[in-house]
Amino acid sequence: MTIRIPIIFMAAVFPAVLFTACQETGTRVVDREYILFQDTLSVHPVLNDDNYSFTVPVSSTVSCSYDRTIAVEIVDEGSNAVEGRDYVLESNTITIPAGKYSADVVVYPKYDRFNDEDTLSFNLKLVMPEQLTWSLYGDETRVSMYKVCPYSRDTFTGWCVVTSMFLYEYPGLTNVSQSYQRLIKTRPDPSDENAVILEDWLFDGYDVRICFDNSDPANPRVTMPEDQVISDELSVFGQANGDNRILGMDSPAYVSYFNSCQSFVSLWLRAYVYDLSTLVGYVGDFYNVMEWVSDEEADRLQKEEGM
């Protein structure tokens, strides 16, 4: 079985520049006027809403006393999304109003054209005089889109394969195989309609609770309430540094999220140790992926891979 490790997309973001007006309207701070996409790569969710759209911002290094209209061209080479089939541009031009620094390309994706695991992309190019192109950043951008499925807690109950970097670094004294993957069961939390219980999550005998926040479907988030016991210290470290409990919560340093289409949770765990009410120290931040599988797949994993 292949565990789908989520990809964290990084965008090349338009740099902070001292903006000013064109020569006609004020003193220049930059040498000349440039127009460019704010990001050379942007990633956007696609929601199940006929009116849903997203924007691709275009910026200028200066403002002017007149409107500036620029054509936007779709570059077929390197694109696997087709205009009219997978998405529609509101317009093939953008207008930066007088006195303003930016305008948006508006994109309407077509939800029904996306499979659950699809990432469809297309390239855009600004059609303008060559002197307006900043050679360092160019005049093109790549836009990627992925499907967001409706949230249901039932998606995240049942059999689950855990891949844990905590187990990779601290497999525990009784983990003879030194495996950093576990097959566990999950069940609804009766006290919270948006939470599930991960039974024997990283170590036998220690259940933990995670909560789902779908208030913004484009940015689904997962939290793990603090001070949950993930193991005793003796079983993992071979010694007790505090009160013999390893505690956990979602790490505030990283984003933890879920994907309903692909039935996985990406959770950053912060592990730490207390001695009664005194913090002894942090064990660290560890990346974990939980992928929910069918009963048939769980049966195969147990029989063929001994999970």
Residue 3's pLDDT band, with cuts at 50, 70 and 90, is very low
* Long-range contacts formed by 2-5: CB under 8 A, 24+ apart: 3/161, 3/163, 3/181, 3/289, 3/291, 4/117, 4/262, 4/264, 4/289, 4/291, 5/163, 5/289
Buried b (16+ CB within 10 A) or exposed e, 145-163: bbbbbebebebbbbbbbbb
Contact 80, 180 (CB under 8 A): no
pTM for the full predicted model: 0.75
Q: Which helix (H) or strand (E) holds 195?
A: strand 195-198
* Long-range contacts formed by 16-21: CB under 8 A, 24+ apart: 17/61, 19/61, 19/62, 19/63, 19/101, 20/62, 20/63, 21/62, 21/63, 21/64, 21/65
CA 184 to chain centre: 24
Buried b (16+ CB within 10 A) or exposed e, 95-124: ebeeeebbbebebebbeebbeeeeebbbbb
Tell me 245's DSSP state. Answer: -
Residues 165, 211: Cα–Cα separation, whole Å: 20
The per-residue pLDDT for range 184-217, each reduced to its tens digit, is 999 999 999 999 999 999 999 999 999 999 999 8
Phi, psi for 110 (deg, rounded to 5) = -105, 100
Q: What is the mean pLDDT of residues 211-224?
A: 95
Contact 256, 266 (CB under 8 A): yes
Contact 120, 144 (CB under 8 A): yes
Contact 118, 111 (CB under 8 A): no
The per-residue pLDDT for range 265-303, each reduced to its tens digit, is 999 999 999 998 899 999 999 999 999 999 999 999 999
* Residue in the block written with tokens 């891979």: 305
Q: What is the mean pLDDT of residues 215-230?
A: 95
What's the one-letter identity of residue 300?
R
* Whole-number percent of the chain with pLDDT over 70: 90
